[in-house]
Amino acid sequence: MKTIQHKFVEYIPNSPEQDVLYISVEYRTAVHLCVCGCGNKVVTPLSPTDWELRFDGKTVSLSPSIGNWNFECKSHYFITRNKIRHARRWEDWEIEEGRKEDAETKKDFFKKRRKKKK
């Protein structure tokens, strides 16, 4: 199984290395090059409505899965304990449904957050 290293950094490098997940806790972002090898930079914001990063002291996991729907490769995979597990490619209608669901989740999250501040 393919693996990815992780590096905790303050700033994400301009030219990331393949098979390295750069994590900036300060900027709540993780970046890596697409694991398919296409060379595209994958940016995963770390937030309650985007991705969650887990660090067990040795390895990292990102959830949910990473779907590179805007890339030609449309790769889809999980990063779990520094291991890459490829997932099936989604159909266009599934991608669209997923985007709608993500937008709804964000909308609900921020709506609830605004209510708590009042």
Confidence grade of residue 118 (pLDDT, cut at 50, 70, 90): low
Cα 115 to Cα 16, 41, 109, 112: the distances in Å are 40, 36, 10, 5
Domain ranges across the chain = 5-89
Query: Coil, strand or helix: which one is 98?
Result: helix
pLDDT in tens, 36-53: 999 999 999 999 999 999
Mean model confidence pLDDT for the chain:
95
pLDDT in tens, 83-117: 999 999 999 999 999 999 999 999 988 887 777 76
Question: What does the block give as tokens for 83?
Answer: 């291991």
Percent of the chain's residues with pLDDT above 90 = 87
Question: What does the block give as tokens for 43?
Answer: 């940016």
